[in-house]
């Protein structure tokens, strides 16, 4: 491998403030903190006693509707019935146009 072309890969804490949830993983955002470009300046002391850079995220598995089970179920059958009531049940294509 060529030297000095690969980003530094290290531990980072991702924090979802809306769900009060954080997790430690590895990322290239760890860089040469705090000198690296795009590297978070904020740090946090993790449960193991070490200090890691922090990345705040808006949505994580702790707050995403798919994972929390709070998503809305769309009633497609109800939508079809509303459409039919509004526009009626018209038969086929008129005028022999292309389908």
Domain layout of the chain by residue ranges: 10-87
Q: Mean pLDDT in the chain?
A: 77
**Which has more confidence, 25 or 84?**
25
Examine the pLDDT at 4 and tell me if it is beyond 90. no
pLDDT band at 55, cuts 50/70/90?
A: confident
Q: Is the pTM of this model over 0.95?
A: no
Alpha helices in the chain (DSSP H): 65-68, 76-87
pLDDT tens per residue, range 20-44: 899 999 988 865 555 555 555 788 8
Task: In whole angstroms, give the CA distance from residue 22 to residue 62.
Answer: 9
Residues 6+ apart with CB under 8 A from 68: 62
């Amino acid at each position: 491998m060529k030297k000095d072309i690969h980003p530094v890969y290290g531990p980072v804490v991702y924090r979802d403030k809306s769900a009060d949830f954080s997790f430690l993983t590895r990322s290239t955002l760890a860089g040469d903190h705090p000198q690296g470009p795009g590297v978070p300046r904020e740090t946090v002391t993790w449960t193991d006693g070490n200090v890691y850079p922090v990345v705040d995220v808006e949505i994580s598995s702790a707050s995403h509707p798919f994972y929390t089970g709070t998503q809305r179920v769309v009633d497609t059958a109800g939508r079809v019935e509303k459409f039919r009531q509004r526009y009626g049940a018209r038969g086929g294509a008129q005028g022999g146009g292309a389908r």
